[in-house]
């Protein structure tokens, strides 16, 4: 006797309707006053709400809280994303000690269904989805926002939330179409755009590990493929470079990056539990002190780095640093910074120009030339600075007598746009490859600084030694120079000497 087996049907991931979702979320918010709020931030052409859940401890002031945004811009068909985010909300408003700590230190924003119309229809037709308007909530973006604002109210709702909160991290969640299927899960990799990769690769690694510790398996992109990453065409050898045939498409998260320097990531999920595990690990990052940062929080504050000099947002609180970070990021084309060369083992000179005019005034004539010790230009540059009474000439001369640096090279920057003063403060970071140092000379514009996290400097070790020079609002000028000479706590030898041939030595 032959047995005829009915082929399994494909169907959507189970979940509440939009009306049921709104009712359920508002019921949760009523049960957790002071913890959760639900807001309608937009409506679809058919009037369905685009919902935003704001989760934070109302008894703790928002001034020093990090902001994390989670969106689901393909939730119209990838319904597992909505299910996973609803499960995350349930955990976040619960009694788990980690959830409580996250609520005290962060504002967590979750948009569980960014495409309400397709979601409510339980759409699973691939062709219909890509032919319709829902796909553009994720894909229909330019650097300034949605390309068709009048016909993209859902995307405009996402933009409004991003603009209002300027999040430190924006995580978009993607996933499977059918309840009966799964997919290769990933974090921090976009299959739609080779531009959509966050600038901290270590964060996706932590998130992936959280899922893999529970038995899931994630692809690591170029690592799993065993191929080098390329985001540009490599003619003739495309098959050997990961990502070289992808397109530089502007998608939703890239708006958050280009406008606010948010850490942006996408993720693919096949299971709701994997979603929650990875997003919980991401939220933990917002409570931790990350590499090169002095404060706990998502590492979005440093906006540029050149050799041993970096610039970052100023501020004692998260809100102050956010305002400074966003301003510096948006004005980055008018800013340039560099250091002296050769870079001394026991000192550094850092230059920061906040306007092309000041750079042209003080920088050497051929500012972008390659290093050339036959044409030292640091001393002539200091001579120009000494003509300005704002700089202490004696202190600059003192540094010259202590340092082996002889030259300054600047990055090649062509900027002819509008130039505006820096209004929200500036932090200059000296990155020193030593476990600890004792300063013999440390000056800003030739002047002694006092230890201060507001107007002065502080030192931290994460890793090496990092000196952060803090210039508060109202004191940022168009040109600054930081000079430092120090003794290192490390005992390090240099070179290979005759006695080094002794295998017993």
Q: Quick one: pLDDT at residue 409?
A: 82
| Model confidence at 365: pLDDT above 60 | no
Q: In this prediction, what percent of the chain has a pLDDT beyond 70? A: 95
Q: Quick one: pLDDT at residue 128?
A: 78
pLDDT in tens, 418-463: 999 999 999 999 999 999 999 999 999 999 999 999 999 999 998 9
Longest dimension (CA), the chain: 102
pLDDT band at 175 (very low <50, low <70, confident <90, very high): confident
CB under 8 A, 24+ apart: contacts of 96-105: 98/280, 98/284, 100/57, 101/287, 102/283, 102/284, 102/286, 102/287, 103/35, 103/55, 103/56, 103/57, 103/60, 104/57, 104/60, 105/60, 105/64, 105/65, 105/66, 105/286, 105/287, 105/296
Q: Quick one: pLDDT at residue 375?
A: 64
Mean pLDDT of 58-82: 92
- Structural domain boundaries in the chain: 18-285, 302-488
What pTM was computed for the model? 0.94
Domain 18-285 falls under CATH 3.40.228.10: no
pLDDT in tens, 377-405: 889 899 999 999 999 999 999 999 999 98
Q: Mean pLDDT: which of 50-59, 211-220, 240-249 is highest?
A: 50-59
Mean per-residue pLDDT of the chain: 91
Cα 50 from Cα 117, distance rounded (Å): 10
Name residues whose C-beta falls within 8 Å of residue 173's C-beta, 6 or more positions apart in sequence: 70, 71, 72, 81, 84, 85, 266, 267, 269, 275, 279
């Amino acid at each position: 006797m032959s047995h005829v087996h009915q082929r399994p049907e494909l169907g959507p991931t189970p979940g509440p309707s939009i009306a049921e979702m709104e009712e359920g979320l508002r019921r949760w918010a009523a049960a957790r006053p002071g913890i959760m709020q639900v807001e309608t931030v937009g409506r679809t052409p058919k009037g369905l709400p685009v919902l935003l859940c704001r989760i934070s401890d109302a008894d703790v002031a928002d001034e020093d809280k990090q902001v994390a945004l989670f969106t689901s811009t393909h939730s119209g068909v990838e319904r597992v994303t909505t299910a996973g985010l609803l499960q995350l909300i349930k955990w976040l408003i619960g009694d788990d000690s980690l959830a409580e700590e996250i609520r005290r230190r962060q504002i967590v924003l979750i948009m569980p269904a960014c495409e309400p119309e397709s979601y409510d229809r339980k759409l699973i037709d691939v062709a219909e989805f890509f032919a319709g308007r829902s796909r553009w909530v994720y894909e229909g973006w330019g650097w300034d926002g949605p390309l068709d604002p009048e016909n993209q109210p859902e995307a405009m709702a996402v933009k409004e939330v991003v603009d209002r909160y300027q999040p430190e991290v924006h995580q978009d969640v993607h996933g499977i179409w059918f309840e009966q299927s799964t997919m290769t899960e990933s974090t921090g990799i976009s299959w739609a755009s080779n531009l959509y990769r966050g600038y901290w690769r270590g964060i996706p690694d932590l998130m992936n590990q959280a899922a893999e510790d529970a038995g899931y398996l994630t692809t690591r992109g170029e690592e799993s493929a065993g191929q080098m990453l390329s985001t540009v065409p490599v003619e003739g050898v495309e098959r050997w470079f990961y990502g070289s045939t992808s397109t530089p498409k502007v998608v939703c998260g890239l708006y958050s990056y280009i406008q606010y320097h948010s850490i942006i990531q996408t993720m693919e999920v096949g299971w709701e539990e994997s979603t929650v595990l990875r997003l919980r690990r991401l939220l933990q990052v917002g409570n931790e002190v990350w590499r090169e940062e002095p404060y706990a929080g998502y590492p979005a504050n440093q906006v540029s780095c050149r050799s041993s000099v970096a610039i970052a947002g100023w501020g004692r609180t998260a809100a102050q640093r956010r305002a400074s970070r966003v301003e510096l990021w948006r004005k980055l084309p008018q800013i340039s910074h560099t250091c002296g060369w050769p870079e001394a083992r026991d000192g550094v000179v850092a230059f920061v120009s906040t306007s092309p005019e000041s750079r042209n005034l003080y920088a050497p004539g051929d500012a972008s030339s390659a290093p050339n010790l036959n044409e030292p230009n640091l001393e002539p540059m200091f001579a120009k600075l000494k003509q300005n009474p704002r700089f202490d000439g004696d202190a600059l001369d003192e540094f010259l007598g202590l340092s082996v640096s002889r030259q300054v090279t600047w990055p090649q920057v062509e900027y002819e746009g509008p130039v505006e003063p820096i209004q929200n403060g500036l932090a200059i970071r000296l990155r020193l490859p030593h476990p600890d140092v004792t300063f013999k000379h440390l000056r800003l514009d030739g002047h002694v600084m006092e230890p201060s996290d507001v107007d002065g400097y502080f030192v931290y070790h994460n890793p090496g030694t990092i000196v952060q020079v803090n210039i508060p609002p109202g004191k940022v000028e168009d040109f600054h120079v930081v000079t430092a000479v120090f003794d290192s706590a490390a005992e390090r030898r240099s070179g290979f000497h005759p006695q080094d041939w002794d295998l017993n030595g």
